Every structure is written in structure tokens, then in C-alpha cells.
Chains A and B, each alone.
Chain A
Amino acid sequence: MEGKVIVITSGKGGVGKTTATSSIGAALALEGKRVAIVDMDIGLRNLDVVMGLENRIVFNIVDVVQGKCKISQAAIRDRRIPNLFLIPASQSDNKDVLTTSSVERVANQLRKEFDYVIMDSPAGIEKGFENSIVGANEALVICTPDVSAVRDADRVIGILYSRSLTPKLIVNRIEPARVERGEMLSHEDVLEVLSIELAGLVPLDERVLISSNTGTPLVLQNDSKAGQAFKRIARRLNGEADLPIEVPNHRSSMWRKISKTFGFKK
């Protein structure tokens, strides 16, 4: 059976695409699937260093697309998580070296060798973005709860629809205390504005920076709230569609129960 190509994109940069891609990819591999993560940000590669694999790069995705090496030569195997592979971006080329048709061909090849191929799209809606969505079967759009990220997400969602992809949304870096105070858009607000199906909600988590500092997978840390949220997103992608979406909450569950009983919470 052929695998799935999933593109993770956002329009705006700096909303957590790379973290989401590496975490969801790692989580899918932990579920026992064979996963290839592809860094499509040609010229500005980052997934390798976030995943802690920067010292092992020999070939990259541009080499694969241009036929200079085989997929198996470019795919770096993660030694901590079995079945997880990274195909890094090239750092020296620019985004125009790849054509959409050649990327599509490689995406189809990758689909035959892996259960999941996760494409990490560059920010923006130019050529690099087009290349990362061309071979995709599914799309995840990620945004943070602020006006610029939501607006850019809307633009990207529109483009994805025009390519017959029905994206789902991940709202990242939710700060429950600020949502409660009315200082931050809630995920309901974001969903209402974008009218899109939700893939998952991820709270702001200090552990994200720490795990990227050391290049260790977030999903291996059981005390990382973001890591656990990404794991649940991966499980839902991987067939557990009924797994409920947890809304990040800042209160202890005890207080939550009490306030619910007394009707403090709406």
C-alpha cells in the first residue's frame, strides 16, 4: 500500500512549522510507521539542526530531485526513534533549482517507500511553497493565535483549496491564562474566523526551545505539554480520528472540576 504525503505549512514564518513537522513525524514513527520528513526550505534548512541530525548530512533533497543520489542515500536515519528519517534541504542552492514536476515525481517515489512523508514547507507562498504542496495528499496549516498568523493562514488555506487539498488547522502556542483573560484569541475564535476543521491544539511550552537547543525530540519528553499535544495530533492522523482534541488549560484539574460544578466556567 502506498503511503501518504502530508504538507505542513503556515504562510507566516516563525509560527512553529519546523517544530510541528519534526514532532508529528517523530510521533508517527513512534506509532510504528515508517516516516520520512522532508525539509523543503531550500537555502534555509533548519530541520536537521532542530532534530539533532546536522552532523550526518551527506546528500539533500535537491540531490535526490536532480538524480544525483538515491533516496536511501539522502535519508538520514534517526538513531533514537526507529523508522524515522530526515531528508534535509540543500543550504547552498536557492528555491528556484527545483521544478514542481520533478518534486512531484520524487514525492510519488517517496510515497512508495514510506508510510508517511511529511513535507516541511518554507514560509511564504512562492515557488518553495508550491513545490512542497505539489505532491501532497493532505495538508496541515499551522498558526498562532494572533492577527498576522491567522490572516496568513487564511490565504494559504485558500490556495490549498484551489489545489483540491482540504487542510486542517493546528493552533500553536496557546496561552490558556491569556485566553482566559481575553488577551488572546481562543481556538474557537480562530476557527470561526477561518472556518476550517481542527487537527489539534498545542500550548505554549518552554520545553520546545530547550529541546531544539539540544536537538532532542520533543515527543520523547513525557513532561512536555506541546510534545504530548503533537503526539495526539499524530495519532489522529494515523487513524484514531475519534481521539478527542484536548483544549490547553492552565488550571489544575481539581480547580477545573470545582469551577465546573459551581458553574463558573462558561
Chain B
Amino acid sequence: MLSRLLRKFTGQKASKDTAKKRLQFSLIYDKLEVNDTTLTDLQKDIVAVISKYFEIDKDSLELKVKRDDEVSALVFNTPILHVKRKSA
């Protein structure tokens, strides 16, 4: 109780609050971690689907998980060589 009052007056933060914040962040990040096999499998599947519609440069494509403070995004980047026309 006394230490709580003291903290209030000095504006000092309790170390357990820091612990809690750090935990909350690390748990979110832990869950966003994707292992390499998952990424490789995903890339194969995406390439297969896109290849149905576009001719793409398979050597210069890139798939990654981009993280920032607020959000986490899956970024797939590929040059399109040309669009496949469906033969009617």
C-alpha cells in the first residue's frame, strides 16, 4: 500500500506493469511466427493458383510476413509476365 502511494507520487512504474506489457506483446508476436515449411507450402499453393490466370516470373517472386507495431501482413510480390487468355 505504502509503496503504491510512493509510486503514485514519484510517477515511478511498477516493474510488474512492465512485465505484463512485455508479455502481452511477446505472446502476440509468438503467435504470428510462421515456420519456413508453412511459408514454402503456402508459396507453392499461391503460385499454382496464380499461374492459372497469369504467367509469372517464378524466380523473382517473394513471400513474407511483414510486421509492424499495429498490424501484421502477408506480402506476396510477383512480376506478371502476361495474362493468360482463356480459350473460349
B3 at the interface (CB under 8 A from A): yes
By the criterion CB–CB under 8 Å, are A182 and B20 in contact?
Answer: no
By the criterion CB–CB under 8 Å, are B20 and A189 in contact?
Answer: yes
* Cα A183 to Cα B23 with chains together (Å): 15
Instruction: Quote the shortest CB–CB distance from B58 to chain A (angstroms).
Output: 34
List A14-45 residues whose CB lies under 8 Å from chain B: none
* Cα A73 to Cα B10 with chains together (Å): 65
If over half of A's interface residues share one DSSP class (helix, strand or loop), that class is named, otherwise mixed; here it is helix
* Cα A151 to Cα B23 with chains together (Å): 7
B27 at the interface (CB under 8 A from A): yes
* Cα A150 to Cα B25 with chains together (Å): 13
By the criterion CB–CB under 8 Å, are B30 and A185 in contact?
Answer: no
Segment at the interface with A among B11-19, B42-50, B60-68, B69-77: B11-19
* Cα A151 to Cα B7 with chains together (Å): 27
* Cα A192 to Cα B4 with chains together (Å): 21
* Cα A265 to Cα B14 with chains together (Å): 17
Instruction: Quote the shortest CB–CB distance from A264 to chain B (angstroms).
Output: 6
By the criterion CB–CB under 8 Å, are A180 and B17 in contact?
Answer: no
A80 at the interface (CB under 8 A from B): no
B24 at the interface (CB under 8 A from A): yes
Instruction: Quote the shortest CB–CB distance from B61 to chain A (angstroms).
Output: 31
Q: Which B residues lie within 8 Å of A146 (CB)?
A: 19
* Cα A264 to Cα B24 with chains together (Å): 29
Instruction: Quote the shortest CB–CB distance from A194 to chain B (angstroms).
Output: 8
Q: Which A residues lie within 8 Å of B7 (CB)?
A: 182
A159 at the interface (CB under 8 A from B): no
* Cα A189 to Cα B20 with chains together (Å): 7
How many residue pairs link A and B with beta carbons under 8 A? The number is 47
Closest partner residue, chain B, to A266 (CB atom):
B4
B88 at the interface (CB under 8 A from A): no
By the criterion CB–CB under 8 Å, are B15 and A182 in contact?
Answer: yes
* Cα A181 to Cα B12 with chains together (Å): 12
A99 at the interface (CB under 8 A from B): no
Interface string of B20-61 (1 = CB under 8 A from A): 101110110011000000000000000000000000000000
Q: Which B residues lie within 8 Å of A189 (CB)?
A: 16, 19-20
B1 at the interface (CB under 8 A from A): yes
Instruction: Quote the shortest CB–CB distance from A158 to chain B (angstroms).
Output: 8
By the criterion CB–CB under 8 Å, are B15 and A183 in contact?
Answer: yes
List A116-151 residues whose CB lies under 8 Å from chain B: 146-147, 150-151
B4, B14, B23, B30: the one contacting A147 at CB < 8 Å is: B23
Knowing A182-B3, A189-B20 are in contact, say whether A154-B15 is a contact too (CB < 8 A). no
Give 8 new A-B contacts, CB below 8 A, not counting A180-B4, A185-B16, A186-B16: A154-B27, A180-B3, A182-B7, A183-B16, A189-B19, A189-B20, A192-B20, A193-B24
A sample of 17 inter-chain contacts (CB < 8 A) reads A147-B23, A151-B26, A154-B27, A154-B30, A158-B31, A180-B1, A180-B3, A181-B3, A182-B16, A183-B15, A185-B16, A186-B16, A189-B20, A192-B20, A193-B20, A193-B27, A259-B1
Q: Which 4 A-B pairs have the closest CB atoms?
A: A182-B14, A181-B3, A189-B20, A185-B16
